[in-house]
Amino acid sequence: MNRIRYIIYTTLFAFLLTLHATNEAYAQKVEFGVSAGLNVSTHLKNFQFEDGDIQINFSPEASMGFNGGLIVRAPISQSVRFQAEPSVIMLGAKYNDNFELRGFDFQSDSKTDLLYLQLPLLIQISTTPPKRVVYGRQRAETTYHLTGGVYGGYLLNAKFSGTNSGAPIGIQFEGDFSEDVMNQYKPYDGGLIFGGGVEHGNRSKIGLEVRALFSVIDSGNRDTFETFKPQNMGVTIAVYYVI
């Protein structure tokens, strides 16, 4: 774990140095923007939860979430740029599984919602079409790019909620629940991002990007569950605007 943290901190420091250097060289070209979108996420290994007589071990399925934040972009060369994106993202998973309570079987339709403050640090490689000027004005162009990098995340909130149903004494029962599960997760997350996108514009640009993210850190809290070892993974799609 110390080695993983060392790699993440070293990478973060290197990216910040890169951003500072490009800022000095291209201060007039630094771009800022906003992004918003949706994501589909889940996690590796089963979800575990205990509360009194309830002991749960659920298989994860895909869950919908959201993402949004700011963009800071600085060029490194004509076709390569650095991008930092302070943002928030909702990750998690859905569960449609059974559990046993005091000898009775119950069905659970539930999910975990994990809200992270996230900082992706990215390198993008973009196509560079020739500039075209029409009536003295540069024409807007469409470009395509590949994205790769790392991210760090800080857990803001973690909730396990849903509906349990069953017929323990021959009478159908259904009840909603919501539990705070912050203590089951480590406060930090980190991993890899790769993807690609398209954008259109000249001085200001609008774009669309699809990415995959995978956590390289086991985000389970060992003090709560020794065997709970989830790793977040997901696919995001977002629209963005930079100026």
Task: Output phi, psi for 135, to 5 deg.
Answer: 55, 40
pTM of the model: 0.85
In Å, how far are 42, 79, 130, 201 from 138, measured between CA atoms? 44, 18, 11, 10
Closest residue by Cα to residue 41 from 147, 110, 112? 112
pLDDT of residue 224: 73
Helical (H) or strand (E) element with 16: helix 2-25
3-state secondary structure of 49: strand
pLDDT for the residue 101 = 84
pLDDT at 136: 64
Tokens of 192: 């890899």
d(CA 188, CA 174): 35
Specify the pLDDT at position 25. Answer: 46
CB 125 within 8 A of CB 80: yes
How do the pLDDT tens digits run along the chain, 243 residues long? 454 454 455 555 555 555 555 455 455 589 999 999 999 999 999 999 988 788 899 999 999 999 999 999 999 999 999 999 999 999 999 999 999 888 889 999 999 999 999 999 999 999 988 777 666 677 889 999 999 999 999 999 999 999 999 988 778 889 999 999 999 999 999 999 999 999 999 889 999 999 999 999 888 887 777 788 899 999 999 999 999
Give the per-residue pLDDT at 23.
52
Closest by alpha carbon to 173, among 224, 123, 108? 108
Three-class DSSP category at 146: strand
109 Cβ contact partners less than 8 Å away, ≥ 6 residues apart: 95, 96, 162, 163, 164, 165
Count of C-beta atoms within a 10 Å radius of residue 152: 19
Residues 140, 202: contact at Cβ < 8 Å?
A: yes
Residue 231 token pair: 């790793």
DSSP 184: G
Kindly report each contact of residues 220-228 with a partner whose C-beta sits within 8 Å and lies 24 or more positions away, as own/partner.
220/184, 220/185, 220/186, 221/183, 221/184, 221/185, 221/186, 223/183, 224/183, 224/184, 225/48, 225/50, 225/184, 227/48, 228/45, 228/47, 228/48, 228/184
Residue 137 pairs with which residues in a beta bridge? 134
For tokens 């760090």, the residue is 152
Q: Which residue has the tokens 């349990």?
A: 164
